Amino acid sequence: MRHVLMVGLAAALAAAPWLTASAQTEDEINAEFEKFRAVLEQDNPAELWEVKGEGLWKTPRGPKNASLEKCDLGLGPGVVKGAYAQMPRYFADVDRVMDAEARIVHCMITLQGFKYEDLAKAPFSSATRTPDPVSIVTYVAAQSAGMKLAPSQSHPKEKEAYALGKEIFFFRGGPWDFSCASCHGLEGKKRIRTQLLPNFADPATAIAAVQAWPGYRMTGGVMHSLQWRLSDCFRQQRLPKPDYASETLSLLMTYLTVNASGHVYKGPGIKR
């Protein structure tokens, strides 16, 4: 009842201001978005893919008819709980840093016998199809919900990955001279159109990059992963296309995640 009264009051106060939208400040609009983002987060369709991903993780599949339960995400074979919060990390078997989805793809290849070429052919979701690694990384990410992000920086290659990722983040190129930082390295609350741009170079706001993906995107109603998001950033930067699950993307993710280190991971996300 208190809730109802409060809502009633808010409705009364907000009766007309939308009619004079120009009088509404950016802060008011963003506060309204924020309020309803919390409502949307409460029931996130991403959970549908968590369920699906869990099934894919546990079911014997692929040419080798194996499940992913022997896949080592860094905490030992089959350990999923908390693994995502510590990725990207160095894996000795491949002698490079891998992000969660790249590692899942690696396991699908080595344990289940899938081919990289097949997985990389159409790696991103459409309205009618969600690739398996996207569902699986959604499941894996959800198993770190509520945990503090603590990507490992103890191995020299992990430290190197951060430095290289930083260079990639600030690299200016292409016909429009854009870098990742052109939009996501800006001081103050800048916007593209109405979209607030979190500054991923700033530890206080870098969490937004990591929190959002894997995430359910309301536009189109599709489940997307960070692999897709970063690839799409490069498209919007007017650069060529990074290979799916490539080292370059793992390095960039290392930069973003280490910047967000110490924040509690609340994903999978829900995005505009």
Partner 1 sequence: MLQTRRTVTFGLVAALGAALLKPVRALAAWNQGAFQAKSTLDGMNALGITNPQDTQDIVIRAPDIAENGAVVPMDITSNIPGTTSISVFIEKNPFPYTGTFDFAAGAVPFVHLRAKIGESTPVRVVVAAGGKFYTAAKEVKVTIGGCGG
Partner 2 sequence: MKLKTLALLAGGATVLASCATGPGGTHREAVRLMQRDFKPVGIAGMDRLKQDELQAACNKYNNDPPKEAADKLQKAQYATVKWPADGKLLGNWKEGEKIAQRGRGMAWNDKPGKTSRGEPNGGSCYNCHQIGPATTSFGTIGPSLYQFGKLRGYGQDIQRYAYAKIYNAKAYVACSEMPRFGHSGTLTEQQMKDLAALLMDPASPVNQ
Partner 3 sequence: MADPMKIRATVQGDVADVRVLMAHPMETGQRKQAGKAVPLHFIQSITAQLNGTTVFSADISQAISRNPVFAFKVKGAKAGDRITVTWKDNKGETRTDETTVRGGS
Burial 228-250 (b: 16+ CB within 10 A, else e): bbbbebbeebebeebebbebebb
Beta bridge partners of 98: 89
Do residues 197 and 191 touch, judged by C-beta distance below 8 A?
yes
Tell me which residue has tokens 């924040």.
263
Do residues 241 and 15 touch, judged by C-beta distance below 8 A?
no
In the list partner 2, partner 3, partner 1, none, the entry touching 19 (Cβ below 5 to 8 angstroms by class) is partner 1
Residues 209-228 binding partner 1 (CB under 8 A) are: 218-221
The length of the chain, given as a count of residues: 272
Residue from 71, 180, 183, 233 carrying the catalytic annotation: 233
Ramachandran angles phi, psi of 217, nearest 5°: -100, 120
Is 84 one of the binding residues for partner 3 (CB under 8 A)?
A: no
Do residues 86 and 74 touch, judged by C-beta distance below 8 A?
yes
At residue 43, the 3 state secondary structure works out as coil
Residues 169-228 binding partner 3 (CB under 8 A) are: 216, 218, 220-221
Q: Which stretch binds partner 1 (CB under 8 A): 18-26, 73-81, 114-122, 129-137?
A: 18-26
CA–CA dist 82, 65 (Å, integer):
26
Q: Which string of x and - marks every residue 103-142 that binds partner 1 (by CB under 8 A)?
A: ----------------------------------------
Q: Which stretch binds partner 1 (CB under 8 A): 27-35, 102-110, 136-144, 248-256?
A: 27-35
Comparison of 32 and 72: residue with beta carbon closer to partner 1? 32
Is 48 one of the binding residues for partner 3 (CB under 8 A)?
A: yes
Q: Measured from the CB of residue 114, what is the shortest distance to partner 3 in angstroms? A: 21
Residue 233 a catalytic site member: yes
Beta bridge partners of 192: 195
CA–CA dist 47, 160 (Å, integer):
35
In the list partner 2, partner 1, partner 3, none, the entry touching 118 (Cβ below 5 to 8 angstroms by class) is none
Ramachandran angles phi, psi of 7, nearest 5°: -65, -45
What is the set of active-site residues?
Answer: 233
Interface positions with partner 1 (CB under 8 A): 4, 7-8, 10-11, 14, 17-19, 21, 24, 29, 32-33, 35-37, 39-40, 43, 192-195, 218-221, 235-236, 272
